[in-house]
Amino acid sequence: MNKRVWYIKNKDHNGVKQPGERITMNFVARGNAKSAAVTSISDDPNALVLASWHNGFEGYINAPVTKNHKEWTLALTFDKPIDRLEIWDADVVRSEQNGKVWYIKNKAHNGVKQPGDHIKMNFLAWGGAKSATVTGPTGATTSLNTASVYDYDEVLRKSILFYESQRSGKLPSTNRISWRGNSALGDRGKNREDLTGGWYDGGDHMKFGLPMAWSATTLLWGLVDYKAAYVNSGEYENMLNCVKWPLDYFLKTHTATNELYVQSGDISADHAFWGRPEDLNMYRPSYKVDVSNPGSDVAGETAAALAAGSIAFKSKVADSSKLLAHAKELYNFGSSYLGKYTTDGHIPANPLYTSSGYTDDLCVAAAWLYRATNEQKYLSDAKKWAANKMSWAWSWDDNTVACQLLLYILTNETTYKQDVETYMSSWLPGDSVPYTPKGLAWRGEKGPLRYAANSAFLALRAADAGIQSDKYRTWAKYQIHYMLGDAGRSYVVGFGNNPPTHPHHRAASCPLRPGPCGKSNKDTPSPNPQVLTGALVGGPGKNDDYADVRTDAVKNAVRIDYNAGFQSAVAALKQWTLDLLPPDQGSGQGF
C-alpha cells in the first residue's frame, strides 16, 4: 500500500446522511503527492478490491441479503490459497482447500439481517491472492473481480472427450479414447436397417432417442450461439465432430418419411450385464414410432436437433441441406400424428424416460426450424405450441422454458420474457428451489447438478438476450463454479481438485481388454481403471453430502444429458470472458 491509499470514517456527529447530501470537508496531505481521487464505498452494490500489494490485498464485502437471518455465514473463495485472513466485523470459522476457501460468521452484534440489508465489511488477505468471490448467506454471490478462476478451455475439451467415450458403433480412425473400441455393430431395424452409431445413454449400453436428441439440441444451441468460445479454445473442430456423431445416427434412424427408430436395447437385459460395450453378446431389440404408433415428443426433439445441426454445419452446404430436409420431414410427422412415444407409441423406455408431453418438443422444433429457414409458418407453429406455464426444471422431458426463451430471442415479445423471468425467479435464492449449505440450487435427488447446470445455461442465454443480465450471470457462474470446485471438490471426472474416480459406468470400471470384467468390477472399492474424462456426475445430497462410490447409482451416475447444459453453460461463460477482453482479443461478435 505504501501509504498511497488512506481510509477515513465519519465522526460521531456526522455519520447520518440522507440521499442528495454531500460529504464535504478539507484535508491536508503531507508528502510528494499533487492530487487525489475520492471513492465512496458506503453504498457500493458490488464487492471491491480496495488495494493490493506483493503478498495480499484489502477487500470490501457487500453481500445482499434476501431472507431474514438471526445469524449468517459467508464463504470467501480466493484465486489462490492465502495464509491469513484478518477481518474485524466477523469471526473466521474455518478454511478449506489449503486456505483457498474461508468461512466467516457474524459477530453477536450484527447477526440479525432482513431482506434488503447488505452485509458490509473490510478484510485483509495475506498470502499472494489478488481476488476473491464472496458467497452470501443464501447462495447469492458477488464477485471481487471478473476473472475466472477455472480453465474453461480445459472443461470444454474434457466434456467433449466424455461424449467420445459414449460413442456406439464403428469408431473412426481418429478415436481419442484408447480404452474404447467398436461396439453394438449388430444394431438393426425391423427390416435390417443399419442403426449403428449414436451415444450410449450413460453408464449402461442403451440408446434412447429422446434424451439423446435433447442432449444434441442443447449442445448445438451452445455451439451455434457461442461459436467464438469453441474457436478461441481450440475445440471448434472437435465440437463439430462431437455433435456430428448423433446427427449422423438420427439420419440413419429416420428410415421413412413417417418412421423413426427411437430405442436400441432392452432395459432389463442391458442393466443385468456389467461389462464393456465391446463385449455385448445379447439380443438388442430396436423400437420405432410411426403413423400407427406416434411419438410427437421424440420426433419433435430429433427434428430440433437436426434443424440446429443444419445451422451449425451451414458452411457445408450439402450436409446442412440434408439435415434440414430430415428435420422438416420429422417435424411434419410429429405435428401431424400426435402422441407420446412411451404411451401412444408403445416404446418400452419406462421407467427411465417416460414422456410427460409433446407440445414443448414440437415448440422447440418449430423454433429451431424458424431459425434455420426464416419461414413464418414455423414461427407461427412455435407460438401455437408454446405454453404459458412454468417448468419444474428444464430437462429432456420438459422444454417449456427453452421454448419460451427461444421465442423471446426470436420475437422480443414481452410475454415470453416474463415467462423466462418467472422460471428463473424460482431458481434464485429465496424462492421455491432449495439450496444446499454451500449454495447449490438443489432441485432433486436424481441429478441435481444436471438441473442446476441446465438452468445456468438458460440464465446465461437469457442474460445475453438482455434479461436481468448481471443477476443471471452472477447466479449461473456460481452454480457452474460449484461443480468445478467452489464447493470444496470437483464433480467433473478428471478435472480440478479431488474429482470423482468411481463414476457409475460399466466400461470405465473394466480393465483393458482382454482382461475379464464383471460384477466384481462394479463392487470393488478401487478407482475405475479407465478415467471417464469430463463426465459430470449426478451430484451431492441436499446437505452437500457426497461419497465417491461406484455402487451409488444416483450420486455417481453419468449421462449424456447431464453434460449437455453444463457444457453449453461453460461455453457461454467462456464467451463472456472473451467479450470482457479488448476488441482485438475478444470474440468479435458480442451477444
- State the pLDDT at residue 281: 92
* Rounded distance between C-alpha atoms, residue 538 and residue 294, angstroms: 32
Indicate the pLDDT class of residue 587, thresholds 50, 70 and 90. Answer: very low
Q: What does the angle CA 89 – CA 92 – CA 93 come to, to the nearest 5 degrees? A: 135
Question: C-alpha cell of 187?
Answer: 444394431
Q: In percent, how much of the chain has pLDDT > 70?
A: 89
Rounded to a whole number, what is the largest CA-CA distance in the chain?
A: 92
The dihedrals phi and psi of 337, each to the nearest 5 degrees, come to: -120, 90
pLDDT greater at residue 368 or residue 2: 368
- Between β-strands 48-53 and 56-64, what pairing exists: parallel, antiparallel or unpaired? antiparallel
pLDDT of residue 103: 85
Q: Is the per-residue pLDDT at 567 higher than 60?
A: yes
Q: What is the DSSP string of 238-260?
A: HHHHHHHHHHHHHHHH--BTTEE
pLDDT at 162 over 80: yes
Kindly give, in sequence order, each residue whose CB lies less than 8 Å from that of residue 66, ignoring residues fewer than 6 positions away. 115, 136, 138, 140, 429, 430
For 452-480, what is each residue's pLDDT tens digit?
A: 999 999 999 999 999 999 899 989 999 99
- What band does 148 get if pLDDT is binned at 50, 70 and 90? very low
Q: Per-residue pLDDT averaged across 422-451, rounded?
A: 94
Q: Is the predicted pLDDT of residue 433 greater than 80, yes or no?
A: yes
Q: Is the pLDDT of residue 356 over 70?
A: yes
Write the DSSP string, 495-516.
SSSS--S--B-HHHHSPSTTS-
Per-residue confidence band for 44, with pLDDT thresholds at 50, 70 and 90: very low
Q: Grade residue 59 by pLDDT with cuts at 50, 70 and 90.
A: confident
Strands 90-96 and 56-64: unpaired
Q: What is the pLDDT of residue 45?
A: 33
Task: Pick the more confident residue, 75 or 555.
Answer: 555
- Residues 482, 536 contacting (CB under 8 angstroms): no
pLDDT score recorded for residue 583:
47
Please tell me which residue, 552 or 113, carries the higher pLDDT value: 552
Rg, the chain, Cα only: 26
What value does the mean pLDDT of the chain take?
Answer: 89
Tell me the domains of the chain and their CATH numbers: 41-143 (2.60.40.290), 152-580 (1.50.10.10)
Q: Note the pLDDT tens digit of each residue in 521-543.
A: 999 999 999 999 999 999 999 99
172-227 per-position pLDDT tens digit: 999 999 999 999 999 999 999 999 999 999 999 999 999 999 999 999 999 999 99
DSSP, collapsed to helix, strand or coil, labels residue 565 as helix
Task: Look at residues 133, 121, 138, 122 and name the one whose alpha carbon lies nearest to residue 69.
Answer: 138
CA dihedral 205, 211, 214, 216 (to 10 degrees): 0
pLDDT at 136: 66
* Residue showing cell 411419438: 295
pLDDT at residue 38, rounded to an integer = 57
Residue linked to cell 455393430: 185
Strand runs labelled E in 68-159: 73-78, 84-87, 90-96, 101-106, 118-126, 132-135, 141-143
* Tens of pLDDT, residues 237-254: 999 999 999 999 999 999
Q: Who contacts 272 (Cβ-Cβ below 8 Å, separation ≥6)?
A: none
Query: Quick check: pTM over 0.85?
Result: no
Alpha carbon distances (Å) from 527 to 507, 521, 524: 13, 10, 8
* CB-CB contact of 196 with 189 (8 Å): no
